[in-house]
């Protein structure tokens, strides 16, 4: 109890939380703003262009789920090595992460580039959407391998509590993305008006500049994460083994979650193009309102992992409970913001009155369930991940999503033909069930593992039950 009170009253702890969470939250909001501006610009071209880009982005979401797996494994391992102050191991972990992330994204890029039409047909039966999305996908796929290197460097910097520089570089990239997209979508400043294809080209150009900026910073200014071309091909058996112990379950979790998440827009896309547009808008606005909660998740993963690396189990539990309280409060306030601000936010989109009405219902349900979504995220991507409990998360994510959430949505949409709002509400069932499972796991204490010591449990102390 005494340590918990010290944590709750510790200015240093909350300074560390803010130092990580605030830049990440600002970046998330900025990223959302870019996505919203893109949606608004593409919305001027009609619902077909907006639906095509949204479905094209779902393909990237699947690819990105793999990078979440590789970089998530790296973040857990790096934060615990950072807690131990084992600086020699950090570049080796980064090299391992970059190697696998790059090769996976390169393979995905080749497949998507060669078969964009076949991939789009999985998500939509509307031929106009398929044609527009295929052209968008072919160009967008060229950025996947570049993104693999960028996200590895960004995650590595965050894991050692250097958040400000990646935030600034990301903001530069996103700002350029808006500018490039505006010019290429509408044909400004003498450039051709390319529509949805212009959005893909703009994103590719921004990714190139982002990667160059990160490489320059890491090579000349940040020596902790500095790696050379030679280190990319250098293998450390111990590091590789520990990395893979986390990589496999986290990647399986993220990939199946990413694929599972695309099942929801697939349902709405096949039910009605307007419903797909409504889902896209509501999902984007929910991402805005969870920016701060998922920034707290990033901070939790780093600081909890660091505490595990220090070998202080009491500190791990006390900090975790503080994070849970903060996340619940922020989730509640974010839900209130979404509910009371939905009319203003919807005014930014050029959609039909029918789609507007469906979107309004979706946003109301999102606002009411936002705290549950936030808590599931805190457990899965924050405290339990920082504690090294990857296998539990893999098992229960798949059970709750593929065993309960997705079947309910498919049955409600295609068999029972429920109203759109009821189908949308069932997309939230996964988060509720998973959060309850994680709550039980958290209080068991079995999730606290030193992954730098091959998953050794931190022993419970006599003072901990308080």
pTM greater than 0.85: no
Instruction: Give me the mean pLDDT over the 4-17 stretch.
Output: 69
> Could you tell me if 153 and 175 are in contact, meaning their C-beta atoms sit under 8 angstroms apart?
no
> Positive or negative CA dihedral for 36, 38, 39, 43?
positive
Mean pLDDT of the chain: 86
Q: Hey, which of 110-114, 126-130, 262-266 has the most confident mean pLDDT?
A: 110-114
User: Tens digits of per-residue pLDDT, 368-387?
Assistant: 999 999 999 999 889 999 99
The answer to whether 98 and 227 are in contact (CB under 8 A) is: yes
Structure tokens at 199: 């959005």
Residue 462 is predicted with a pLDDT of 46
pLDDT at 1 over 70: no
Percent of the chain scoring above 90 in pLDDT: 42
Backbone angles phi, psi at 460, to 5 degrees: -75, 135
Percent of the chain exceeding pLDDT 70 equals: 93
pLDDT tens for 425-439 read 999 999 999 999 999
**So what's the pLDDT on residue 456?**
59
Please tell me the predicted confidence (pLDDT) of residue 6.
55
Residue 8 Cα distances to 18, 323, 373, angstroms: 14, 10, 24
Q: What confidence score (pLDDT) does residue 12 get?
A: 82
**Tokens coding 272:** 């009605």
- Please state the rounded mean pLDDT for residues 270-292: 83
Give the residue with greater pLDDT, 308 vs 261. 308
Check whether 465 has a pLDDT greater than 50: no
The residue-averaged pLDDT of 74-101 equals: 90
CB 25 within 8 A of CB 293: no
pLDDT confidence of residue 115: 92
> Which pLDDT does position 423 carry in this prediction?
92
CB 256 within 8 A of CB 402: yes
Let me know: does 132 contact 170? Beta carbons within 8 Å: no
CB-based contacts of 389: which residues, under 8 Å, 6+ apart?
A: 441, 446, 447, 448, 449
Q: Mean of the pLDDT values across residues 189-199?
A: 89
Q: Looking at residues 141-159, what average pLDDT do you find?
A: 92
pLDDT tens-digit profile of 326-356? 999 999 999 999 999 888 888 877 677 888 8
Question: Between these two residues, 367 and 48, which has the higher pLDDT value?
Answer: 367
Give whole-number Cα distances, 106 to 85, 98, 156, 295, in Å. Answer: 33, 12, 20, 28
According to the model, what pLDDT value does residue 466 have? 43
State how far Cα 429 lies from the chain centre: 19
Given pLDDT bands bounded at 50, 70 and 90, which one contains residue 458?
low
* pLDDT, mean of residues 65-74: 88
Over 90: is that where the pLDDT of 111 sits?
A: yes
């Amino acid at each position: 109890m005494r340590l918990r009170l010290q944590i709750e009253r510790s200015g240093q702890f909350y300074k560390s939380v803010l130092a990580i969470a605030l830049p990440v939250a600002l970046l998330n909001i900025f990223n959302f703003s870019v996505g919203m501006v893109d949606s608004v610009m593409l919305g001027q071209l009609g619902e077909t262009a907006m639906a095509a880009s949204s479905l094209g982005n779902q393909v990237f979401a699947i690819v990105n789920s793999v990078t979440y797996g590789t970089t998530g494994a790296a973040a857990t391992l790096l934060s615990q090595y950072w807690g131990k102050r084992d600086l020699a191991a950090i570049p080796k972990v980064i090299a391992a992460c970059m190697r696998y992330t790059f090769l996976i994204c390169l393979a995905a890029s080749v497949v998507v580039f060669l078969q964009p039409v076949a991939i789009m047909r999985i998500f939509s039966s509307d031929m106009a959407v398929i044609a527009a999305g295929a052209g968008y996908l072919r160009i967008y796929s060229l950025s996947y391998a570049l993104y693999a290197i960028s996200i590895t460097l960004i995650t590595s910097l965050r894991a050692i509590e250097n958040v400000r520089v990646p935030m600034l570089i990301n903001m530069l990239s996103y700002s350029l993305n808006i500018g490039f997209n505006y010019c290429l979508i509408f044909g400004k400043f003498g450039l051709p008006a390319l529509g949805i294809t212009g959005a893909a080209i703009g994103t590719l150009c921004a990714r190139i500049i982002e990667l160059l900026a990160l490489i320059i910073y890491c090579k000349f200014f940040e020596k902790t994460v500095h790696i050379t071309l030679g280190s990319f091909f250098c293998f450390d058996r111990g590091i590789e083994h520990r990395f893979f112990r986390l990589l496999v379950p986290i990647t399986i979790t993220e990939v199946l979650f990413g694929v599972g998440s695309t099942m929801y827009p697939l349902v709405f896309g096949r039910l009605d193009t307007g419903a797909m547009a409504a889902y896209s808008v509501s999902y984007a606005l929910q991402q805005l309102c969870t920016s701060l909660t998922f920034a707290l998740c990033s901070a939790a993963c780093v600081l909890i992992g660091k505490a595990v690396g220090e070998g202080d189990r009491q500190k791990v539990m006390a900090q975790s409970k503080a994070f849970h309280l903060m996340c619940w409060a922020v989730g509640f306030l974010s839900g209130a913001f979404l509910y009371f601000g939905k009319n203003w936010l919807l005014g930014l989109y050029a959609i039909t009155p029918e789609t507007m009405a469906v979107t309004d219902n979706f946003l109301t349900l999102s606002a009411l369930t936002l705290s549950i979504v936030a808590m599931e995220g805190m457990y899965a991507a924050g405290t339990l991940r920082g504690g090294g409990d990857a296998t539990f998360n893999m098992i229960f994510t798949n059970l709750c999503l593929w065993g309960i959430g997705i079947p309910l949505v498919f049955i409600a949409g295609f068999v029972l033909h429920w109203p759109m709002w009821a189908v949308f509400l069932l997309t939230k069932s996964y988060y509720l069930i998973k959060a309850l499972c994680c709550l039980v796991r958290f209080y068991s204490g079995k999730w606290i593992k030193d992954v730098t010591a091959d998953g050794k449990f931190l022993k419970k102390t006599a003072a901990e039950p308080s």
